Amino acid sequence: MEPVCLLVAEDEALLLIDFEDALIEAGFAVVAATSGVKAMDRLTSADSSIQGIVTDIRLGDRLDGWDIARAAREIDPLMAVVYVTADSAPEWASKGVPNSIMLEKPFAMAQLVTAISQLLNARQSGASAS
């Protein structure tokens, strides 16, 4: 059985490596992006098999995590979305997509694995995660 493929968008290299390592160790396949534009390119590529995204909010270019998540939900209305941020959590209620999870930095990597797993399980059962 193929592992679930996740897009991880984070512009801080050390955090991106930590996120990738934790998710790969948990059994996921990871496609990494260091900017909003790169994340959008990977998300919208013709051969994309992405089933969930983990995205920072501030990605240092013209597209942010809010944009990435909205685009993901246009592609797949049940796409699992986990936001990670140091300062944008208060905007989640107004800018975040429904049935997503917000993790405020710093957090334990186990929280990240649990959050994306919860959303993927809800996706498979067709239920709401929150």
| Closest-CA residue to 67 (of 106, 36, 100) | 36
Q: Are 20 and 30 in contact (CB under 8 A)?
A: yes
Alpha carbon separation from 5 to 63, 85, 95 (Å, rounded): 22, 21, 25
Neighbours of 63 (CB within 10 A): 18
pTM of the model: 0.94
State the chain's mean pLDDT as an integer: 94
| Structural tokens at position 103 | 């993790």
In three-state secondary structure terms, 18 is helix
| Structural tokens at position 59 | 């990605």
| Closest-CA residue to 8 (of 80, 70, 93) | 80
Tell me the mean pLDDT in the region 29-47.
94
Query: Which residue carries 């679930």 as its tokens?
Result: 4
- 44-98 pLDDT, tens digit each: 997 779 999 999 999 989 999 999 999 999 999 999 999 999 999 999 999 999 9
Task: Determine the pLDDT at residue 123.
Answer: 86
DSSP state of 4: P
- Is residue 129's pLDDT more than 60? no
